[in-house]
Structure 1
Amino acid sequence: MYVLRFTALAASLFATGLAMAEQPVIGLITKTETNPFFVKMKEGAQQAAQAKGAKLLTAAGKSDGDNAGQVTAIENMVAAGAKTILITPSDSKAIVPAIRKAREHGVMVIALDSPTEPVDATDALFATNNYEAGVLIGRYAKSALGGKAPKVVMLDLFPGPAVGAQRHNGFLQGFGLDSLPATSNELARPAQVVCAADSFGDRAKGQTAMENCLQKAPDVNLVYTINEPAAAGAYNALKNAGKEKDVVIVSVDGGCEGVKNVGGGVIAATSQQYPLRMAALGVEAGVGYATTGKKVSGYVDTGVKLISAKTVPGVESSDVGTGTKLCWGKS
């Protein structure tokens, strides 16, 4: 009897160990731990991993632009047995050699939100069409100005990431100003842009950048920002200068706090993205690869929607209520 019990226990332990060994291991590497966009992305990955029975490893750079931190995270995840790595690359070019090494070890790598350069350095890209996101807020801004000559301040990310160029140039294209195509990593600088500065997608740095631009261009009437934290910083600078009612601010992201700021008049309009969906789809693809050995490939558009408190002629948008229901969830 004891032998039978021991044999049954051994078989149970073996089966448990086998199941654990076969559990898909998926890594998620974001640009930072603190940006609400990436917090929501991590949440989406955790929810999907739990639902699919996968083990999720997570890591992030110390700050936006920390390529070395992301390289280390890739190496650690490969060593830990990850068969799929999802990454929002901080430096679209510098991260490529580390991604190449991971793929040589049989790891499927999917870029989320931001493409690498070249795009095919990863197996796939799950992201918003960032150029289209820029176009949408550009069209809104043009109508909102009501025929006034634009005097534009552009608070960008920082040089390098393709996502920054795509949103920047898309905004100019949507407004009808001289721009560059979605494939360009250069930033167009038409004469109507009276000041441009890097905000690093940060509220405090966005405020400082806006304060500096007000010194150069006090008669600004339109502000484009790379994301909503930078937009909040820009608004603070304008409010401190007594100019917040004279300037239209548009942005990209569509986070819950950002949509709240649209309702509160801080931001006129924002292009809403869905990072939770990006991550969930990435985890599902990773589990599929672990199960079937089939990799995903190409670009998957995860959607974008223009959110505004006030409608403007000729531009379709959804209201704040809709934006609140959808903020960073599944579109």
Structure 2
Amino acid sequence: MSFGIHQMNRALFGLSLILLLFGCHSESSNPTGKSDKLRIALIMKSLANEFFSTMADGAENYQAENADQFDLIVNGIKDERDISRQVSLVEEMIASNVDAIVIAPADSKALVPALRRAIKAGVVVVNIDNRLDADVLATEEVEIPFVGPDNKAGAKQVGSYLAGKLVTGDSVCILEGVRTSFNGQQRLAGFQEAMEEAQIKVVGHQSAEWEMSKANTIASSMLSEHPEVKAILAANDSMALGAVAAAKGAGREGEVLVVGFDNISAVQQAIKDGKILATADQHGDQLAVYGIENALKLIEDPDAKIEDVETPVDLVTQESISP
């Protein structure tokens, strides 16, 4: 009798072990350990630019509020001209099987082929901040929605406000962004249109490639060559700060009016202090969020119509900034 009990106990133990092993295997529905959540990559320009670090913060805060819905991978490049690195980031995100790429391209043309490859790999792509070139998109036979502001209208608003502080026939200079960037082209066009309507003379415009130090050097040269210049219009706030430093170096601080675009915190303080006249706020902390929201919609409904989304851009002056 004791032998039978011993044999039965061994059999029960063996059965329990089999069930335990089977149960552990059946509960592991994701043996690779990969999260079932969506993975969205945010690829920006230079994180050394406060505008893009603010954009990253806004996106990360949004992800934290929606942590059960998606994971966020944030990438940036060392400076605005490092286009090859941004292309590489797109390729890396394709290889890591992200569900979507939300990108602020450093170049409106060069990024399109890589983004076409992403779409062919099944990745949803949303373009923010700097619009991709329409002709190149057509050549590559790809549709990518743009989520962002009307840069020309924003720049014209800033330029018109500046013109109200000048008189007919006054001279100004313009600091452009990267010339292959659509947003840089549009901001230049907006500034020029505002000056033309106000009959203000644009005596020079050069690209400082969005960078403060380069803007300082170029603006110093402009002020030396054109001492009659009454104002400098900068296509972003980093360049506006460079222009302020140039005016100070030329002994014309407070005399040469400066405007920018982006509404970074350093410029907000400069506007309060009267060192910069105005800027445009394209709500950088929300711009990537708008793009992520659009990407989530396209993932949920792959057959949804691909449409652009225009986001706000507002004039910022000393009067509009709260004390």
- State the TM-score, normalized to the length of structure 2: 0.85
Taking the aligned partners of 1:267 and 1:222, their CA distance within structure 2 comes to: 10
Matched, 1:156 2:176: yes
Identical positions, percent: 26
Alignment map for 1:295-314 (pairs within 5 Å): 297-310=306-319
Is the CA contact 2:262–2:284 (under 8 Å) kept in the aligned structure 1?
no
Is the CA contact 2:168–2:200 (under 8 Å) kept in the aligned structure 1?
no
Within the candidate set 274, 284, 289, 2:283 is matched to 274
Is the CA contact 1:111–1:122 (under 8 Å) kept in the aligned structure 2?
no
Taking the aligned partners of 1:48 and 1:173, their CA distance within structure 2 comes to: 37
Alignment map for 1:118-157 (pairs within 5 Å): 118=134, 120=137, 121-145=142-166, 147-157=167-177
Is the CA contact 1:262–1:308 (under 8 Å) kept in the aligned structure 2?
yes
Is the CA contact 1:41–1:276 (under 8 Å) kept in the aligned structure 2?
yes
What residue is the counterpart of 1:223 in the other structure?
232
Q: State the one-letter code of the partner of 2:177.
A: L
Matched, 1:31 2:45: yes
What residue is the counterpart of 2:92 in the other structure?
76
Taking the aligned partners of 2:52 and 2:274, their CA distance within structure 1 comes to: 25
Taking the aligned partners of 1:103 and 1:172, their CA distance within structure 2 comes to: 37
- State the TM-score, normalized to the length of structure 1: 0.83
Q: CA RMSD in A?
A: 2.4
SS at match of 2:154: helix
Alignment map for 1:235-254 (pairs within 5 Å): 235-254=244-263
Deviation at 1:2, TM superposition (A): 6.1
Is the CA contact 2:163–2:200 (under 8 Å) kept in the aligned structure 1?
no
What residue is the counterpart of 2:79 in the other structure?
63
Taking the aligned partners of 1:101 and 1:25, their CA distance within structure 2 comes to: 18
What residue is the counterpart of 1:321 in the other structure?
322
Is the CA contact 2:170–2:200 (under 8 Å) kept in the aligned structure 1?
no
Within the candidate set 237, 255, 258, 2:264 is matched to 255
Q: How many equivalent pairs are there?
A: 301
Q: Which moved more, 1:169-178 or 1:62-71?
A: 169-178
What residue is the counterpart of 2:56 in the other structure?
42
Taking the aligned partners of 1:234 and 1:12, their CA distance within structure 2 comes to: 63
Change (3 A) 1:51 1:18: farther
Deviation at 1:296, TM superposition (A): 6.1
Gaps of 5+ in 1: 179-189, 311-318, 323-331
Q: Deviations over 1:260-296 (max 9, x none)?
A: 1111112101111112212112222333334443556
Higher Cα Rg, which structure: 2
Taking the aligned partners of 1:234 and 1:215, their CA distance within structure 2 comes to: 13
Q: Which moved more, 1:35-44 or 1:49-58?
A: 49-58
Q: Deviations over 1:75-110 (max 9, x none)?
A: 110010112111111111111111111111121111
SS at match of 2:164: helix
Deviation at 1:65, TM superposition (A): 2.2
Gaps of 5+ in 2: 1-15
Deviation at 1:191, TM superposition (A): 8.5
Deviation at 1:10, TM superposition (A): 4.2
